[in-house]
C-alpha cells in the first residue's frame, strides 16, 4: 500500500467503462485509487440522451448492444452489477431506402444473433460502477503529462491551477492513440510502445450516431421493425431504440456520411434526418419530438487525425506490449482497444479492466 497518505497509490486516467471497472476492481482489492477524467462527467464513449427535466436516461448516443451469450465477461459484469437486459425489437418488415427519387421498399431482413440491450442502457453500467467508488471522480481534469521516476509518478493536469498528482502506479484507461498524441511522456516512450499505441485505431471514432425520440413507437403498429437500411442516408442503418415496453419511443441510426460531409451538412443534418424519416415512414408519419446527434469524429478525446483518414476496419487485437506492464509495472495501458477479448467493444473495456486488476495483484505479490 502507499506510504504517502496524501497520495493515491493508483491513479486511473479516464472514467470510461474500462477506467471505472478497473478502479472498482482495484478498490475492492484494497488499493487507494483516484480516477481523473478530462470531461465534466464519467462515461467516455458511453453517452446518453437524458430527460432535460428529470435527468433520467432515455437513449444511447454511444454503444447500445451487448452479446452476453457470446461474451462471458459482459455476462459476468451484468450479474455483478445487478443489471438486466431485454431483446432488441426486430418484429416486422425493414425499410430499404433508395433516396428521394424512389419509393422505399419493405423487406424481411435477417437479424443479428444474440444482441441484447441493457435496461437503462450502458449508462446503467457507468452509474453502478461510479456508485462503487469510495470517492468522486476528479472531473474536468485532462492529464497532459506523465513523468516516470524510479520512486513514483507525477501527472500534470490541463488546468495549470491544479497541482501535479503523485502516485505509485497509473492505469492509462484511454484510447491508445489519444494516450500517445495528447500526453507528454517523460521520459519519452520507448519506440515499440509508441508504435503499438499508434497502430491501434479507436473503435467507432469516425462514426456519428443519431437518436430520434417519438411520442410512441408508431412503426410497430404498422408492422414495421423500425429498421432502415439506406443507400443515401443520412442514416444508413437505423433500428428501433425504444425502452423495454416501447417507452420512451425511439429510433437510433448511424449517420453513414463521411466526417467531412457531416461537418459540411451541420447545422442542417438534423433537418435532413427528419426528411429521411418522413420519406421512409410516409408523409402521414408522426414527427420526432427531438433528434440528437453525437459526432464522435469531432471529439478529440476519441478520434485522432489518423482515425479519420484510414478505412475503418473491425478492431484487431493490439500488440502484446500494450498488455505488458511498462516502467516496472508503474504504467498499465488499458481501454477497450487493448483487450484480447472483443477489442474495442464493451466486453473489451471490461476485459482490459480485469487484466489491469490482475496485473497489479501480480506485481504486488511478485
Ligand X SMILES: Cc1cc2nc3c(=O)[nH]c(=O)nc-3n(C[C@H](O)[C@H](O)[C@H](O)COP(=O)(O)OP(=O)(O)OC[C@H]3O[C@@H](n4cnc5c(N)ncnc54)[C@H](O)[C@@H]3O)c2cc1C
Binding region for ligand X (CB under 6 A): 13-19, 36-39, 44-46, 62-66, 142-143, 173-175, 178, 182-183, 203-204, 207, 209, 296, 301-302, 335-336, 344-346, 348-349
Shortest separation between residue 336's beta carbon and ligand X, angstroms: 4
Nearest distance from residue 100's CB to ligand X, in Å? 26
Task: Tell me the closest approach of the beta carbon of residue 287 to ligand X, in angstroms.
Answer: 24
Return the number of the residue (327 or 345) whose C-beta is nearest ligand X. Answer: 345
Pairing between strand 169-172 and 331-333? Answer: parallel
Residue with cell 428521394: 100
Residue 34: CB minimum distance to ligand X, A: 12
Tell the smallest beta-carbon distance from residue 18 to ligand X (Å).
3
Q: How far is the CB of 359 from ligand X (least distance, A)?
A: 16
Report the phi/psi class of residue 324: left, alpha or beta, with left for phi > 0 and alpha for psi in -120 to 50.
beta
- Nearest residue to ligand X by CB is 16
> Residues 159, 141: contact at Cβ < 8 Å?
yes
User: Which cell is 315 given?
Assistant: 478492431
Report the length, in residues, of the chain: 366
Report the residue number, 104 or 259, with the smaller CB distance to ligand X.
259
Identity of the residue, 213 or 301, whose beta carbon is nearer to ligand X in the bound complex: 301
* CB of 243 vs ligand X, minimal distance in Å: 17
DSSP assignment letter at 189: P
What is the closest distance, in whole angstroms, from the C-beta atom of residue 113 to ligand X in the complex?
A: 14
b (16+ CB within 10 A) / e for 87-102: ebbbebbbbbbeeeee
DSSP H helical ranges for 189-344:
191-199, 218-221, 259-265, 269-281
Cα 136 to Cα 42, 198, 260, distances in angstroms: 10, 31, 37
List for the chain the helix, strand, coil content (%; round to 5).
30, 25, 45
Smaller CB separation from ligand X, 279 or 354:
354
Our CB check for ligand X shows the closer of 156 and 281 to be 156
Cβ neighbours for 175, distance < 8 A, ≥ 6 positions apart: 200, 202, 205, 302, 304, 335, 337
Number of helices followed by number of strands (H, E) in the chain: 9, 20
Q: Which residue has the cell 467531412?
A: 260
Q: In the complex with ligand X, which residue's Cβ is closer, 36 or 327?
A: 36
Question: Residue 285 CB, nearest distance to ligand X (Å)?
Answer: 25
Task: Give the three cell numbers for residue 229.
Answer: 437500411
DSSP class of residue 43 equals B
Whole-angstrom distance, CA of residue 360 vs CA of residue 150: 17
Question: Is the CB of 156 or the CB of 230 nearer to ligand X?
Answer: 156
CB nearer to ligand X: pick between 44 and 104:
44
Amino acid at each position: 500500500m502507499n506510504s504517502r497518505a496524501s497520495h493515491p497509490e493508483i491513479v486511473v486516467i479516464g472514467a470510461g467503462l474500462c477506467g471505472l471497472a478497473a478502479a472498482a476492481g482495484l478498490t475492492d482489492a484494497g488499493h487507494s485509487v483516484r480516477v481523473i477524467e478530462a470531461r465534466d462527467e464519467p462515461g467516455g464513449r458511453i453517452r446518453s440522451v437524458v430527460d432535460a427535466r428529470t435527468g433520467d436516461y432515455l437513449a444511447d448516443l454511444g454503444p447500445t448492444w451487448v452479446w452476453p451469450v457470446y461474451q462471458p465477461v459482459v455476462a459476468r459484469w451484468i450479474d455483478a452489477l445487478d443489471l438486466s437486459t431485454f431483446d432488441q425489437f426486430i418484429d416486422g418488415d425493414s425499410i430499404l431506402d433508395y433516396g428521394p427519387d424512389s419509393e422505399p421498399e419493405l423487406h424481411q431482413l435477417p437479424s443479428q444473433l444474440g444482441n441484447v440491450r441493457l435496461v437503462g442502457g450502458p449508462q446503467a453500467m457507468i452509474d453502478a460502477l461510479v456508485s462503487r467508488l469510495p470517492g468522486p471522480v476528479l472531473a474536468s481534469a485532462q492529464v497532459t503529462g506523465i513523468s516516470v521516476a524510479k520512486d513514483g509518478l507525477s501527472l500534470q493536469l490541463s488546468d495549470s491551477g491544479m497541482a501535479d498528482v503523485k502516485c505509485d502506479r497509473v492505469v492509462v484507461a484511454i484510447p491508445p492513440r489519444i494516450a500517445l498524441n495528447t500526453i507528454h511522456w517523460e521520459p519519452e516512450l520507448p519506440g515499440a510502445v509508441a508504435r503499438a499505441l499508434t497502430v491501434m485505431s479507436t473503435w467507432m471514432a469516425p462514426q456519428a450516431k443519431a437518436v430520434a425520440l417519438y411520442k410512441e413507437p408508431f412503426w410497430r403498429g404498422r408492422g414495421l421493425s423500425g429498421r432502415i437500411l439506406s443507400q443515401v442516408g443520412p442514416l444508413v442503418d437505423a433500428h428501433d431504440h425504444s425502452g423495454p415496453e416501447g417507452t420512451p419511443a425511439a429510433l437510433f441510426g448511424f449517420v453513414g456520411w463521411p466526417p467531412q460531409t457531416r461537418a459540411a451538412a451541420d447545422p442542417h443534418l438534423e433537418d435532413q434526418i427528419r426528411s429521411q424519416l418522413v420519406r421512409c415512414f410516409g408523409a402521414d408519419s408522426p414527427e420526432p419530438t427531438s433528434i440528437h446527434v453525437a459526432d464522435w469524429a469531432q471529439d478529440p478525446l476519441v478520434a485522432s487525425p489518423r482515425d479519420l483518414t484510414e478505412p475503418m476496419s473491425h478492431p484487431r487485437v493490439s500488440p502484446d506490449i500494450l498488455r505488458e506492464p511498462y516502467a516496472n509495472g508503474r504504467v498499465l495501458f488499458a481501454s477497450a482497444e487493448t483487450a484480447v477479448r472483443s477489442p474495442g467493444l464493451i466486453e473489451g473495456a471490461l476485459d482490459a479492466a480485469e487484466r489491469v486488476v490482475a496485473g497489479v495483484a501480480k506485481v504486488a505479490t511478485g
